[in-house]
């Protein structure tokens, strides 16, 4: 991870940058180049308030169904504070800290584009919170993805903002230095001044797709990592069953032209280079879960890549409403629209969810075959010696099956489930936050499904080599390194033991990338 300060200018934030901020607490700052745009946009808002015209939504009007209610300039601060208080209506368990950090970084980046009419102190306050570890508690449920993620973002804004009364019970909650406390207390301890929001600023902070984008971005990064490790699990399983290499032939896979398929096949070929277990039987063809893995995991890879492109665009998008464009001729330089609508995110989150569910689905099928003596080329039933007294990996496979079934429910496309809100003013919504949250949960499930396959494949390899009276030298160079790294954490199952810790150790090897790094060091 890059640890030098990340400068946000509204244009060049990457998913990799976001992961570094979310996971590794990479410091952030506001780019100097963004300040003139921010200041000019804010100056126009101030001019509008001084003139009293034109009428611009959310600056001198109410919100949503109250868009036609005029608001006097001396009511602006109260309007912004009431917006944040009334919209802090989320429910459910708090979002993970990494999602909150990603959300804060994306929102700061959005405002840095200079279309939102906020003061630079608003952005600098967000960045100070990030750098000093003030993490607002944001309930995970309550957004319909249009007008953006209003409820969750309002809970964030509670912490950074105040009114003249500055009531602690209206300052939200945070985690700060491992302790849950009021937002007011956390900001005091961190030495960060809370701000009184001025005209437009509350709306600029809570109106947009930021939470949806944060969850989706982290899900994309984790999905890409999972796909790499799914190839490792596949290659190890192939060796355990003494499978065939022909489905991974470059010529065969190039005949379709699908980039993801070619990548999966290439990865498996590299992992198996030097293997004397594959192609060592008279079998003509393997089952689809092995033979068609390039087509299935490759298609998932392509879907993940598409999701990456859309999410990368969204984390650099201006998504509040209205937006201010100073190059417009005439008095009214604001334009109302629908950039807060999360349809683009919802659709790719739906696709990402289905793609990752398929990675888990085909992985579980291979685990099932490894655990079945009549499907595994003679490996012991449930991959354990002394079956009967020992149950082996029986329940690990059942857990994988349960997770696969859970994924099928979670993969329902949230975007088709629009429901009208705000007295039918908001009559079509995206459900992008739900879609992103479900996609991320599927990544969580599928990571454990692949972890179980890794354990089963390593167990199968050990049993196969023991039966053959051979050493690890029969394995491919990449799979031998992956097996060795796995065995440093998870010993051979010679008798029944609690398996949950083994599964979580394998998950950690996936999530940290240690398994893929061990394999790459051999190639």
How far apart are alpha carbons 513 and 200 in whole angstroms? Answer: 43
How far apart are alpha carbons 92 and 365 in whole angstroms? Answer: 34
Can you read off the two tokens belonging to residue 288? 């689809």
Question: HSE (CB half, 13 Å, CA atoms) of 175?
Answer: 12
Rg, the chain, Cα only: 26
Tally of residues, the chain = 523
Instruction: Given the residues 42, 57, 135, 482, select the one marked as catalytic.
Output: 57
Can you read off the two tokens belonging to residue 317? 């998008």
How far apart are alpha carbons 434 and 7 in whole angstroms? Answer: 30
Number of other CB atoms surrounding residue 389 within 10 Å: 9
Enclosing H/E stretch for 119 = none
Torsion of Cα atoms, 353 then 355 then 361 then 365, to 10°: -170
Q: Catalytic residue at 57?
A: yes
How far apart are alpha carbons 166 and 177 in whole angstroms? Answer: 23
- Taking alpha carbons only, the member of 387, 510, 410, 512 closest to residue 453 is 510
Sign of the dihedral through C-alpha 152, 170, 68, 115: negative
Angle made by CA atoms 211, 216, 220, in degrees to the nearest 5:
155
How far apart are alpha carbons 96 and 93 in whole angstroms? Answer: 9
Do residues 132 and 149 make contact, with C-beta atoms less than 8 angstroms apart? Answer: no
Instruction: Measure CA 187 to chain center.
Output: 27
Main-chain phi, psi angles of 101, to 5 degrees: -65, -45
Give catalytic residues, as residue numbers: 57
């Amino acid at each position: 991870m890059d640890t030098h300060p990340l400068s946000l200018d509204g244009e060049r934030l990457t998913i990799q940058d976001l992961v570094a901020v979310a996971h590794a607490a990479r410091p952030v700052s506001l780019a100097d180049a963004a300040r003139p745009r921010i200041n000019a946009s804010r100056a126009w808002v101030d001019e509008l308030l001084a003139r009293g015209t034109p009428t611009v939504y959310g600056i001198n009007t109410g919100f949503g169904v109250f868009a036609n209610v005029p608001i006097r300039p001396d009511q602006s601060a109260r309007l912004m504070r009431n917006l944040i208080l009334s919209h802090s209506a989320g429910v459910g368990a708090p979002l993970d800290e990494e999602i909150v950090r990603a959300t804060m970084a994306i929102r700061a980046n959005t405002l840095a584009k200079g279309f939102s009419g906020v003061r630079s102190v608003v952005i600098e306050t967000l960045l100070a919170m990030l750098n000093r570890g003030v993490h607002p508690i944001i309930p995970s449920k309550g957004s319909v993805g249009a007008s953006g993620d209003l409820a969750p973002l309002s809970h964030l804004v509670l912490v950074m903002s105040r009114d003249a009364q500055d009531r602690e019970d209206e300052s939200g909650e945070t985690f700060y230095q491992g302790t849950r406390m009021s937002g007011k207390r956390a900001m005091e301890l961190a030495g960060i001044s809370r701000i009184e929001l001025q005209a437009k600023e509350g709306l600029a902070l809570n109106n947009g797709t930021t939470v949806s984008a944060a969850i989706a971005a982290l899900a994309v990064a984790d999905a890409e990592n999972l796909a790499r490790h799914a190839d490792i699990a596949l290659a190890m399983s192939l060796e355990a069953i003494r499978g065939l290499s022909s489905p991974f032939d470059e010529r065969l896979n190039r005949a379709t032209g699908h980039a993801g398929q070619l990548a999966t096949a290439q990865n498996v070929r590299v992992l198996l280079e030097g293997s004397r277990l594959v192609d060592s039987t008279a079998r003509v063809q393997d089952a689809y879960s092995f033979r068609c893995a390039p087509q299935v995991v490759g298609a998932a890879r392509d879907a993940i890549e598409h999701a990456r492109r859309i999410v990368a665009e969204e984390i650099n998008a201006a998504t509040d409403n209205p937006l201010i464009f100073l190059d417009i001729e005439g008095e009214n330089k604001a334009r109302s629209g629908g950039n807060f609508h999360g349809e683009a995110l919802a659709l790719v989150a739906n696709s990402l969810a289905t793609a990752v569910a398929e990675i888990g689905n085909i992985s579980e099928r291979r685990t099932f075959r490894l655990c079945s003596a009549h499907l595994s080329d003679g490996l012991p039933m449930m991959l354990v010696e002394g079956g009967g007294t020992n149950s082996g990996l029986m329940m690990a496979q059942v857990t994988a099956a349960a997770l696969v079934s859970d994924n099928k429910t979670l993969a329902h496309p949230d975007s088709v489930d629009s429901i009208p809100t705000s007295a039918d003013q908001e009559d079509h919504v995206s459900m992008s936050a739900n879609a992103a949250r479900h996609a991320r949960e599927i990544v969580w499930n599928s990571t454990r499904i692949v972890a179980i396959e890794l354990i089963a494949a390593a167990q199968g390899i050990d049993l196969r080599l023991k039966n053959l009276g051979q050493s690890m030298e029969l394995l491919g160079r990449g799979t031998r390194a992956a097996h060795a790294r796995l065995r440093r954490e998870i010993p051979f199952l010679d008798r029944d033991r609690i398996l949950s810790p083994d599964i979580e150790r394998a998950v950690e090897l996936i999530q940290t990338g240690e398994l893929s790094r061990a394999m790459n060091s051999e190639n």
